[in-house]
Structure 1
Amino acid sequence: MAQFERPELYDFHGVSMTHYFTYNWENLQNFKALPDDILVATYPKAGTTWMSYILDLLYFKQRDNERETSLAIFDRVPFLELSIPDAPTGIETVDSLPTRPRLIKTHLPIQFVPKSFWENNCRIVYVARNAKDNAVSYYHFDRMNMVQPEPKDWNSFLHRFMEGKMVFGSWYDHVTGWWDKKQTYPNLLYMFFEDMVQDTGRELERLCSFLGLSTSVEEREHIRGGVQFDAMKANPMANYSTDPVMDHRISPFMRKGKVGDWKNQFTVAQNESFDKHYEMKMKNTTLKFQTTI
């Protein structure tokens, strides 16, 4: 394992962040999106890699078979705001992409997204995941990712999640901020992790329709097979096993990918207090989630 410094959380314009994502801020805000760029936006651990991989296969599988076996997903779909010492920044990686459209991922809350994406009317795919599964996944991720803050024990982590003291801020603000944007910005497709698990084929069709891609049933079926959780978990180009900041001995980057696994982590008391808090936080939105399917 390479040695990385676990960062401290700090308040950045009202959102909890770490310096790994704010260091390059001026360049980030001035980022020049191209009109055909496609942005994958999510709260961390909501299906980002899954959606990135699906998009990459939709656009490039036919053109370049070698890409699939030789290029890790984080090089194909760069992480826009990432800035880690001794590595190219996310922006540099995006700007050196040889293929178009450029597929770009971000975890930024809506108010931090560079203006050029809106000015160029770029297509954006947002994936949201129910809060309970998202919290559990984030906890195990923070245990194994050395450039994330120390998660401590599950109970204190859950409290921090409820308070929004997470990297990229509050889950509640994130999912509702993007949901509100969808009402006024037609080039935003808002998708749910749970729908993708329940019927990957149907959601693939929805995605292709949004992107204006005419894919055959066979192509979509082939992609659906390649992006099933077990296939991706076993694929070194998709499972982050080549990323030096992650310690897979602690927990795999791709852990379970299930809906409802929160039941194995939450105690009855935690679940009751979470539900009460959730109801209060979500009372003013039309956004609804499934916690089991």
Structure 2
Amino acid sequence: MTVVDHPSVDPDGPVAVLANPTAGRGRHRSLLAPLISRLAVAGREVRLLEAHSAEQAETVCHAAVAGGVAALVAVGGDGTVHRALQAVAGTSIPFGPIPAGTGNDFATDTGYPTDPLAAAEVIAGALHDGRSRPVDLARLTGPTGPPRWYGAVLAAGFDAIVNERANRMRWPRGPRRYDLAILVELARLRPRRYKLRLDGEPYELDAVLVAVGNCPSYGGGMRICPDADPADGLLDVVVGGRLDRRTLIRVKPSIYQGTHLRHPLVSSYRVRTVELAAEGITTYADGERSLDLPVTVTAVPGALRLLR
């Protein structure tokens, strides 16, 4: 698939910075000023984008890109990165993620330091030298509406169902809500019938877990697609078949090491395009609520230029 290059880089434009002050439960809030100072060392004007919701974050990023910027930088976790990617995907405008969230999988999997200030130094150096490198993104489309982009992993099974329940819950607050959602969905666990088409080849199977990875990790370091490479032009599809509750609980910890692929009920495929359908599943891309199934996911080589 050819990347459509919309806005081009304005070499004299500012560096736009999208910052999520609540990322990582606010623990990096005090770092914003020094982060901006490090980026300004590159000799560029730095323009802070204000956003008070996920939707507004996408709007201000699109406006900044359309208005002419030299680069876009996202300070936050995978959710903040996801919103910024919608504006720069398929363009030549370089992008830099500064990991300051609860989950920083895309930044980590594409080689940035885990320390936010160190990541800002890498990005500032790339800005100063005019250096960027291409990486792949995944393009997500449904029967209606515009396409979405993601950088890390699309969850379309048990983890997506847990996220959906947690987002509907009003109590308890914080991480305990997610823990409770896991318990509720474990009690309701059942395999669902999935229809997949992998590079045109049809499959029909029962599964409890389906993930489509451009990068290896999601959920703050869970290596669900451990062999995924965001520079190979391919997607890794991992399917956990008819896992019962006890087996899923036993397999889940091994995902952090990526050794779950050894389990006989777990399968992995490497493809360019995935068509995925099942009843009653809302997908989560980069940890953010995305499209309802059915969807088509396509690997787009070089869809993003990283400031590295």
Q: Which has the higher contact order (CA 8 A, sep 6+)?
A: 1
Name the structure where strand makes up a greater proportion of residues: 2
**Structure with greater helix percent:** 1
If you compute each CA radius of gyration, which structure gives the higher value, 1 or 2? 2
